Chain A
């Protein structure tokens, strides 16, 4: 029997470990609370193990080629780890920005910095889109919809 180990098996292992831990955590729960999570965990765990074994035995390299809506069908081009890290880094920085500065301030700074540094756009375009973003956010969310965004944690720490 030939085994086909590949990086595509990693998600199976992650799922099996995560669901295994999840199942253990249900142990002390009352019957009504635990029924669905426990049944769900056991079914998913079983199917994930079957899937892992079948892919180990058969390999999936030559199988289904699906569309973008289901999964990726296009080669991702320049998908080096560095670019992946940079883009996700921007997302995390924006998230921290929202927590520290509040959504409106963080959004404006994010749009400008992303365009200028990551997008390498001109000063004119970067400033233009930053101003547009601010006007849009303020007029739509603040004035029209009366949305009050949560304050940034930093302002609380500084007593502002």
Chain B
């Protein structure tokens, strides 16, 4: 095993591998910064090359690119409120308010440091799991995935920021919107009114682009103000220090990211929200969350990057892709002649270690490169909105349109912009809607899969019971947070 690890490391430092690795990292950094365009898109572009390049050279290219989009993804989330990747959606909640306060550099410093630690944690989890891949994957089935999704939706109780009922309605709306299209069991159309575009599921990227990014830019354009009037001296190094100060939060969020990433179907988009809610539960004081609390940036970013390592476990061990990115990764493996499963783990173990080394090194290099440019990028927040708005709107429309190349993508972006802006003006919490939208289809799919295989006995599986106990704790803590917030606000109201 050690020999295989050494061989993989030696391979990574040959000229052709260094070249491919660098190409992948530069491409990943660039794609992550473009709103709405993520590693899935990059991998689709690179897939044909996997046929013609030597597998050991193609691996650093595709994995370097895929890992790094998660590191640069928070840049647009923090600066303009547009998620660079689906795993950066939760970063918007506190990252963007920090940028508005002139602390974009600090937020990005924290995000890159947390991403680096999360990415390394994910690689470590992958390394440790190699000998126990098989029993580890078999421990989890659709009932556990369902229980985990229910745990995710229970986090609405901590995400509704003082409006519990509105939060539940918001999450419910998100779930119902996510059900539009063909149902996964019989293929019958639901609420699509014969519109072909609506038969397919609406993408989380187009929803998040409209709901947060475009809504924020529209709000700024209406107010005729810039993202941040001042540029704080608190920069990337302060962000790094803050992250290192919260090492327990970073490590626990990384563990959440790796675990959720490991569960097929959940992925980074779910991991970042669970980690965000985790930060809310374990942090004190909580009053700064939603207003630019750095812990709200650290937790989702650590989880986001750690999820890559976790997601690769079922992909490598059984050839079970956890999501679109891993499905494409699996296609790339097959095209390169690599067969995930026992053969890869025995005959080609050095390739598994090449994957692990690539993830670890690309996270280090990616974070270093992002750090290098943070100060320049952070100044974008002070650009006048008259100049920034048209360019950002152009990118948001482009990011939306790339999803399916249908005008319906942009219509969805605009519709969700109106909804997001309206909710913002009328004091309706927005994060629960996004959480509901992400988890709705997963809960439905895993529910039917669980009841078909296990009947109603799925509820009694030990893993499910443990996750349900965690759900109950989350709900209890969430309700306590809501009660305390109400008490603080009523006291404040009485004093003022």
Q: How far is the CA of A115 from the CA of B386 in the complex (A)?
A: 6
Q: Indicate whether A84 reaches chain B with its CB closer than 8 angstroms.
A: yes
**Which residue on chain A has the smallest CB distance to residue B291?**
A67
CB <8 Å contact, B398 and A64: no
Q: How far is the CA of A47 from the CA of B289 in the complex (A)?
A: 25
Q: How far is the CA of A96 from the CA of B350 in the complex (A)?
A: 53
Give the shortest distance, in Å, between A129 (CB) and chain B (any CB).
7
Q: How far is the CA of A8 from the CA of B426 in the complex (A)?
A: 6
Contacts of B30 in A (CB 8 A): 140
Q: Hey, what's the 0/1 contact readout for A83-109 against B, CB within 8 Å counting as 1?
A: 110011011101100110001000100
Q: Indicate whether B138 reaches chain A with its CB closer than 8 angstroms.
A: no
The bracket for how many chain B residues form the interface is 35 or more
CB <8 Å contact, A29 and B391: no
Contacts of B288 in A (CB 8 A): 67
B282-296 residues at the A interface, CB under 8 angstroms:
288-292, 296
CB <8 Å contact, A36 and B444: yes
Contacts of A98 in B (CB 8 A): 397, 401, 407, 410
Q: Indicate whether B4 reaches chain A with its CB closer than 8 angstroms.
A: no
B interface majority secondary structure = helix
Contacts of A30 in B (CB 8 A): 186, 188
CB <8 Å contact, A70 and B161: yes
CB <8 Å contact, B387 and A67: no
CB <8 Å contact, A47 and B485: no
The bracket for how many chain A residues form the interface is 35 or more
CB <8 Å contact, A47 and B172: yes
Contacts of B290 in A (CB 8 A): 66-70
Give the shortest distance, in Å, between B185 (CB) and chain A (any CB).
4
**Which residue on chain B has the smallest CB distance to residue A84?**
B222
Give the shortest distance, in Å, between A132 (CB) and chain B (any CB).
8
Contacts of A103 in B (CB 8 A): 397-398, 401
Q: How far is the CA of A15 from the CA of B288 in the complex (A)?
A: 30
Q: Hey, what's the 0/1 contact readout for A64-83 against B, CB within 8 Å counting as 1?
A: 11111111110011110001
> What are the 5 closest A-B residue pairs judged by CB atoms, nearest first?
A67-B291, A64-B162, A119-B386, A44-B172, A69-B93
Besides A43-B168, A68-B100, A129-B390, 17 other CB < 8 A contacts? A7-B426, A19-B176, A33-B188, A40-B440, A62-B490, A67-B97, A67-B290, A69-B92, A69-B93, A70-B431, A73-B291, A87-B218, A111-B391, A115-B390, A129-B391, A133-B391, A149-B401
Chain A contact residues, CB within 8 Å of chain B = 7-8, 10-12, 15, 19, 22, 25-26, 29-30, 32-33, 36-37, 40-41, 43-44, 47-48, 50-51, 54, 60, 62-73, 76-79, 83-84, 87-88, 90-92, 94-95, 98-99, 103, 107, 110-111, 114-115, 118-121, 125, 129, 133, 137, 140-141, 145-150
